[in-house]
């Protein structure tokens, strides 16, 4: 089945009682039982909800996996993966990643005795020196947030399997339209479904997808026991968003490519971070494991003063200054004070995230309007 057809039909079947083509919003907290212990597969909505189950089936199908789980946010999904671990376990994590993930690791799970090693994963071999008998998980993003670094998922998967550790890939920036980490050997795929899967900046949600039934059962137990589940209305919105993922991603990619090249040619722009440039350090890996290069990019001005950076951030008229990404509208973001503010400045600078870095989430507007907006804002 081709991608577009898969995204439109994933997880959704006509409602058997009415024939409704869309999965109904089952807005209920509990279910009537015929007799004690005798039910129709649903007991309590924290554990089971038909709308959520349809979405979880869709998550699995679009990621070429067997099992999907929906969470109340991307961070909640990440939290569930971390709860597979025990005190004394160690995690090898990418040194360039979403600030909320770093905050969760350092401020929450380090206190419970989990040790984290932050490694530059642009060369997958860099993780080998950190693996020991306590290592249980490798956590990576690709492309990374916000420097658009690329990790070789297949190479990491080989290392993970050699040492019998899990590999979890945050696939938020690429989406299942561009990349399927399970096909490349990953054990778990994580999404902030708030972003491209929902696609309309109107819902907060997370997703996990995997192939191993035992791993699914463990994660489902955590999901049920901790209660980090999305409501049925939110599940309905993401189900609807997935139906247009392919057409949106096509436009995100087209606009992203044009804007990346426009910025690179601008005399006042310094460095542009976009994984579609042929001189990107891991361009060949990106080309091999992705179907396109996405709508996310970052850049700096040649004048890296905060005065020049703040002037640009405050001058756009089409690009909205806001956190998040992946919606139909274009957003401009300042990672140092917004999405990555929880990472200490010295750590950010060490990993290449400067105070003057600007991140763009390219929407699906007419690209001429987006370029004109950047032109007037840069000056």
The catalytic residue positions are: 46, 98, 170, 195
With CA atoms as reference, report the closest residue to 360 among 332, 324, 336.
332
Q: Which two tokens stand for residue 360?
A: 């763009």
Query: 146 preceded by cis ω (within 30°)?
Result: yes
Crossing angle between the packed helical segments 74-82 and 213-226, to the nearest 10 degrees = 110
Tell me how far apart the alpha carbons of residues 316 and 303 are, in angstroms, rounded to a whole number: 18
Using DSSP's 3-state secondary structure scheme, residue 365 falls into coil
Spatial contact of 56 and 197, defined as CB atoms under 8 Å apart: no
CB 211 within 8 A of CB 195: no
Strand positions, DSSP E, 128-258: 135-141, 166-170, 188-192, 206-210
Establish whether the linkage from the previous residue to 19 is cis, with ω within 30° of 0: no
- Supply the Cα-derived Rg of the chain in whole angstroms: 21
């Amino acid at each position: 089945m081709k991608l577009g057809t898969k995204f439109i039909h994933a997880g959704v079947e006509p409602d058997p009682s009415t024939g409704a083509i869309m999965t109904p919003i089952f807005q209920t907290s509990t279910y009537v039982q015929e007799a004690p212990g005798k039910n129709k597969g649903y007991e309590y909505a924290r554990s089971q909800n038909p709308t959520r189950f349809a979405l979880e089936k869709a998550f699995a199908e679009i990621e070429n996996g067997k099992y999907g789980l929906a969470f109340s946010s991307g961070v909640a999904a990440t939290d569930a993966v971390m709860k597979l671990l025990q005190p004394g376990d160690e995690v090898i994590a990418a040194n360039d990643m979403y600030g909320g993930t770093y905050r969760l690791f350092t401020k929450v799970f380090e206190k419970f005795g989990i040790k984290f090693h932050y490694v530059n994963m642009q060369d997958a071999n860099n993780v080998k020196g950190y693996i020991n008998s306590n290592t249980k998980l490798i956590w990576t993003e690709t492309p990374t947030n916000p420097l658009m670094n690329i990790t070789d998922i297949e190479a990491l998967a080989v290392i993970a399997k050699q040492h019998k550790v899990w590999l979890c890939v945050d696939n938020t920036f690429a989406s299942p339209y561009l990349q399927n980490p399970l096909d490349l050997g990953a054990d778990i795929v994580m999404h902030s479904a708030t972003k491209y899967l929902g696609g309309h900046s109107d819902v907060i949600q997370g997703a996990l997808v995997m192939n191993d039934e035992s791993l699914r059962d463990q994660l489902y137990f955590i999901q049920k026991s901790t209660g980090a589940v999305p409501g049925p209305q939110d599940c309905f919105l993401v189900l609807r968003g997935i139906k247009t993922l392919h057409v949106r991603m096509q436009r995100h990619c087209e606009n992203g490519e044009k804007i990346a090249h426009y910025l690179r040619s601008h005399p006042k722009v310094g460095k542009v971070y976009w994984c579609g440039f042929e001189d990107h350090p891991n361009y060949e890996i990106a080309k091999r494991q992705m179907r396109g290069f996405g709508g996310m990019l970052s850049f700096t001005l040649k004048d890296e003063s905060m005065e020049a950076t703040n002037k640009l951030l405050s001058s756009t008229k089409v690009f909205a200054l806001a956190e998040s990404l992946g919606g139909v509208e274009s957003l401009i973001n300042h990672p140092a004070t917004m999405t990555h503010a929880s990472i200490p400045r010295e750590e950010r600078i060490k990993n290449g995230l400067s105070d003057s870095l600007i991140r763009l989430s390219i929407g699906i507007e007419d690209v001429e309007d987006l370029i004109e907006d950047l032109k007037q804002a840069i000056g």
